[in-house]
């Protein structure tokens, strides 16, 4: 596709369940980011993948959060034992290595934890 | 540590009025600075970056290293400028994470 694709677009889950959010970046973009967007908190950095380097996980809020990127392309963000405070829009973005620095965002996955 | 502060959450102006969206940053060095915009029901997208020194949709932003600011300005606001605006910072180079501020909602009334 032409842009960053995220799925599901909406996810409603019960507290304590695990969820997986998927991101398919723009082809050829080696850098991939996950952010969390919630009211009053703006865009919180979660994790950053760059090529084959070790990911920057400094933004993950707890050990319930993890992410992987397989084959340098698709990424999955996993939240285990979800809590109500995890409710937010999870945004994925990709960037071309050596490019202008512009991030291209997906439409996001809206997670609601009941 | 790098930090971006957008002190206001909401700015409401009438069409034709000037707009200034404030952004201050904390970074030990020379960062790269950006403004991103999210219109209603659209993806977050780049509006402008400081290294380009460009004007996009009538908006400009000047990097003031002395005041560590990167305020976004437009002399005459239009209704279609209503959106959420985020200021963002990264270390120099392509392999750096982008740190965002909390964003400000701009509402332009007719």
Residue B94 has its nearest CB partner, among A43, A98, A105, at A98
Token pair belonging to A114: 């009941």
pLDDT in tens, A46-80: 999 988 888 999 999 999 999 999 887 899 999 99
Please name which of B89, B105, B85 lies closest in space to residue B25, comparing C-alpha atoms: B89
| Residue B91 clears pLDDT 70, i.e. is over it | yes
- Which residue, among B18, B3, B20, B1, has the nearest Cα to B88 in the 3D structure? B3
pLDDT band at B5 (very low <50, low <70, confident <90, very high): very high
Q: How many domains does chain A have?
A: 1
Q: Which residues of A touch B39 (CB under 8 A)?
A: none
Full residue range of the structural domain in which residue A56 is found: 5-113
Of B34, B36, B94, the CB nearest to A97: B94
Contact B43 A106 (CB under 8 A): yes
Over residues A98-114, the pLDDT tens digits come to 666 789 999 999 999 99
Please report residues of A whose CB lies closer than 8 A to that of B32: 101
Can you tell me whether residue A23 is helix, strand or coil?
strand
Burial class (CB in 10 A: 0-12, 13-18, 19+), A93: buried
Inter-chain CB proximity B46 and A102 less than 8 Å: yes
B37 touches chain A (CB under 8 A): no
Fold of B3-109: Immunoglobulin-like (2.60.40)
Instruction: Tell me the C-alpha distance between A22 and A90, whole Å.
Output: 10
Helix (H) or strand (E) holding A22: strand A19-24
> In which element (H, E) is residue B77 found?
none
User: Do B104 and B4 form a contact (C-beta atoms < 8 A)?
Assistant: no
Q: What is the mean pLDDT of residues A29-50?
A: 90
Q: Specify which residues A64 forms β-bridges with.
A: none
DSSP element (H, E) containing B80: none
Q: What is the CATH number of the domain that holds A12?
A: 2.60.40.10
Tell which residue, A11, A14, A4, has the closest CA to residue A75.
Answer: A4
CA separation for the pair A105, B20 (Å, rounded): 25
Q: Tell me whether residues B45 and A105 touch, CB distance under 8 A.
A: yes
Judging contacts by C-beta atoms under 8 Å, the chain A residues touching residue B33 are: none
């Amino acid at each position: 596709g032409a842009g960053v694709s995220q799925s599901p677009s909406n996810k409603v889950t019960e507290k304590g369940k695990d969820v997986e959010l998927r991101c398919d970046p723009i082809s050829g973009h080696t850098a991939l980011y996950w952010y969390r967007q919630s009211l009053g908190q703006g865009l919180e950095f979660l994790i950053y993948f760059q090529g084959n380097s070790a990911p920057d996980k400094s933004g993950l809020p707890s050990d319930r959060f993890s992410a992987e990127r397989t084959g340098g392309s698709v990424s999955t963000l996993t939240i285990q034992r979800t809590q109500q405070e995890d409710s937010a829009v999870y945004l994925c973005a990709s960037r071309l290595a050596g490019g202008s620095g512009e991030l291209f965002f997906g439409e996001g996955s809206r997670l609601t934890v009941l | 540590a790098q930090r971006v502060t957008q002190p206001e959450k909401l700015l409401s102006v009438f069409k034709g009025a000037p707009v200034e969206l404030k952004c201050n940053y904390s970074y030990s060095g020379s960062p790269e600075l950006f403004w991103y915009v999210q219109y209603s029901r659209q993806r977050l997208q780049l509006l402008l970056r400081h290294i380009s020194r460009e004007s996009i949709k009538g908006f400009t932003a000047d990097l003031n290293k002395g005041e560590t600011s990167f305020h976004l300005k437009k002399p005459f606001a239009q209704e279609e400028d209503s959106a959420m605006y985020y200021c963002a910072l990264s270390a120099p180079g392509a392999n750096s994470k982008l740190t965002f501020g909390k964003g400000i909602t701009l509402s332009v009334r007719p």
